[in-house]
Each structure stands twice: as C-alpha cells, then as structure tokens.
Amino acid sequence: MTVIVQAAPFEAALLSGAGRGLPGVGAVVTFIGQVRDTEGDLERMEIEHYPGMTERAIEAMLAEATTRWDLLDGIVIHRYGTLLPGEAIMGVATAAAHRAEAFAAADFLMDYLKSRAPFWKKEVRAGRMSWVAAKDDDETALRRW
C-alpha cells in the first residue's frame, strides 16, 4: 500500500504498476482526476491540505478498503499547491484477484477522498479566487458503503 501526497506532478505509470509481480492479481483499476476547465476561464486551481492528517486519513481509507475487498495492492496519490487545467490532481489504483473487488475499492476510495481527506480546492477564474464548495452528494455517496 502506498500513499503519496506531493506538490509535484506524478506519472500515470506509478498507478498502473499496482500489484506488479504479485501472482494473485487478476484486475488492476486506476482512476485519475484532473483539473477541468468547463467554462474556459479557469486560470488555475490551488489546493490546500493538512499535512499529517492527510496521510493518516488516506492510510486509514486504504486499510479499510484493503480489508473490505481483499486488495492485494492499493495506491493513492494526491497533489496540493498550484494546478493548471488538464493537470492530474490525484490518482488511485487498486489491485485484486477479481474485477468487482478492484472496481468497488477504487470507487470507495474516491468517495472517501472527496469528503474525508483534508484537502480544500480554490479556483482562480479571471483573477478572482473562490473556494470550491463541498457537494451534498459527496456526503450522500458515503452512505453507499
């Protein structure tokens, strides 16, 4: 299991390497979330986090996912700092014997990262900054698990 919290960009290859060399792995799912510019006016995104708590929170999620879905490997990478449109914000990878487990665990991790990992996003559009509001949906999503 690997947790990486960094300002620098990351390589997608880091995620697809999940479970490499483990003979029981039949399925590897990766997810990458990236900065969208739907309105065409997004200059950048600034992500703040809570060093220390971030790593602890993500490690706890990964441990929970590992137990619930028998993960053979799991990776979470999340960036902070300044990100430009098109850049990858974060990534998750899960490796399991079967597809259903790998998919469910990745989905679970994403739901938890959205509203239980201490990151806060701010968008800068046309020079104006605004904090991204949490969605009620994000909280509702946790009840699935």
Partner 1 sequence: MIDILYFAWVRERIGLPKERVETEARTVGDLVAELSAREDRYAAAFADLDALRVALDQELADFDAPLAGVREVAFFPPMTGG
Task: Compute how many other C-beta atoms are within 10 angstroms of the C-beta atom of residue 22.
Answer: 11
Whose tokens are 């993500």? That residue is: 58
Site for a copy of itself in 81-140 (CB under 8 A): 85-86, 97, 99, 102-103, 106-107, 110
3-state secondary structure of 72: coil
Q: Which two tokens stand for residue 96?
A: 């399991």
Q: One-letter amino acid identity for 113? A: L
* CB 80, min distance to partner 1, A: 10
Residue 121 touches which member of a copy of itself, partner 1, none, C-beta under 5-8 Å by kind: partner 1
Sign for the CA dihedral angle at 138, 114, 33, 39 comes to: positive
Site for partner 1 in 110-129 (CB under 8 A): 110, 113-122
Angle between helices 99-116 and 53-69 (to 10 degrees): 150
- Distance CA(71)–CA(85), nearest Å, equals 32
Asked if 54 interacts with a copy of itself (CB under 8 A), we say no
Residue 79 touches which member of partner 1, a copy of itself, none, C-beta under 5-8 Å by kind: none
* CB 30, min distance to a copy of itself, A: 5
Residue among 17 and 118 whose Cβ is closer to partner 1: 118
> Residue 134 has what DSSP assignment?
P
Residue among 85 and 118 whose Cβ is closer to partner 1: 118
Residues of this chain that bind a copy of itself (CB under 8 A):
12-13, 15-17, 21, 23-38, 40, 85-86, 97, 99, 102-103, 106-107, 110
